[in-house]
Amino acid sequence: MPFLLSARPGGSRPERRDGRAGTGRTYLTRRESLAAVRTAGLAPLLDLPHPDHPPAAFSQRLFVAAREP
């Protein structure tokens, strides 16, 4: 469900330099997102929706994370 992610008319989208590079995907996968959170030194506290919940099909997630102690 990509929205508001298009380039301006006549423009080009910025190059992707993360796990999406070369994939054509707009969003990181859940696994890639959690890995990025951990790489940033944060501990995931909440990850919604659960993978089997209907809104998960829209590829949008809510992560709550805090610094590792």
Instruction: Report pLDDT digits (tens) over 33-66.
Output: 999 999 999 999 999 999 899 988 887 889 999 9
Establish if 3 belongs to a structural domain: no
Q: Structural domain tally of the chain?
A: 1
Establish if 14 belongs to a structural domain: no
What residues are paired with 1 via a beta bridge? none
Which of 31, 36, 5 is closest to 18 using CA atoms?
A: 36
Q: Which domain holds residue 35?
A: 30-67
What's the CA gap between 5 and 66, in Å, rounded? 27
Establish if 6 belongs to a structural domain: no
pLDDT in tens, 8-22: 788 776 676 677 777
Following DSSP, what letter does each residue of the chain receive, concatenated? ---S-PPPTT--PPPP-STTTTT--SS--HHHHHHHHHHTTEEEEEEES-TTSGGGGGT--EEEEEE--
Establish if 59 belongs to a structural domain: yes
Establish if 35 belongs to a structural domain: yes
Establish if 51 belongs to a structural domain: yes
Establish if 25 belongs to a structural domain: no
- pTM of the predicted model over 0.85: no
